[in-house]
Amino acid sequence: MGPRVKLSGIQRQALALYRGFLRTARLKAPDERQRSESVVSAEFRENARNVDRRNFVYIEYLIRKGKRQLDQLKNPDITGLSTLQINKIMKSEGLAFDGV
């Protein structure tokens, strides 16, 4: 095994958040677990691809938002995650607007 890569604080936070989502998904029903893991994985991959790594303010915002969502998912009454992709659809069709 090669040398360990030293992670920054923000990278450790993002990784801890990702692991937290996966651990919490394990507590849900099997079908919802798979769906939750899929949503979380896709969201993290998308942000890794599309967010500038030097945009620390936005990354910190995403981490805070993720922590709130994780706290909600930990609630036993919440069965799973869902994702809404209106902005992507609207942007691709030229229908994007401010104020959402």
Please compute the mean of the pLDDT values over residues 2-8 and round it to a whole number.
Answer: 85
pTM of the model: 0.75
Is residue 97 scored above 50 in pLDDT?
Answer: no
Q: Are 38 and 21 spatial neighbours (Cβ–Cβ below 8 Å)? A: no
**Which alpha helices (H) appear in the chain, and where do they start and end?**
9-25, 30-50, 56-74, 86-92
Least confident span in 30-34, 75-79, 90-94: 90-94
